[in-house]
Amino acid sequence: MADRRNPFESLEELFNRLNRQFGDAARTWEVETGGEGQFDFGAESTSLDLADHDDEFVVTVDVPGYEADDLSSSLSGETLLVSGERERETESDEDDSYIRRERQLQSFSRQVRLPEPVDAEGVHATVNNGVLTIHLPKLEPSGESHTIDID
């Protein structure tokens, strides 16, 4: 009797997949329209803060359970992309003692547009206790002036 499959497991998998797809669609829409926080689909959403500290921007992202190797970030112009992906361990997949199993492949991807240009060479990031912190030093304005000819 213990070998019987849960009849609702397929439905649960379908709902989880739909939840992820809606979350991906919402994030794509937010990036394209510039909206922030328009949708929240629960656990798939990753919280992100952007702070202005005079000489640098600091981005803080909640990434509980992710290791540094699971995360990636890139800077393209004034847009910061942060993403992560982790999989459950496959060693215990053959253990049928689970009553409920929700911890599977998880991923996220967030983009944030920075209000000012930053020095890409000075960017550094750390992960500590499930919090990713990215320091983005602002570009120093050049003291040079440039004459503009008026026709």
Closest CA to 104 of 79, 84, 127, 87: 87
The pLDDT tens digits for 7-37 are 777 777 787 788 777 777 766 666 555 554 4
Burial degree of 57 (CB within 10 A; 0-12, 13-18, 19+): buried
Domain 46-89+105-140 annotated CATH 2.60.40.790:
yes
Helix (H, G, I), strand (E, B) or coil at 107: strand
What would the pLDDT profile of 89-102 be if each residue is shown by its tens digit? 655 555 567 777 76
Q: What pTM did the predictor assign? A: 0.61
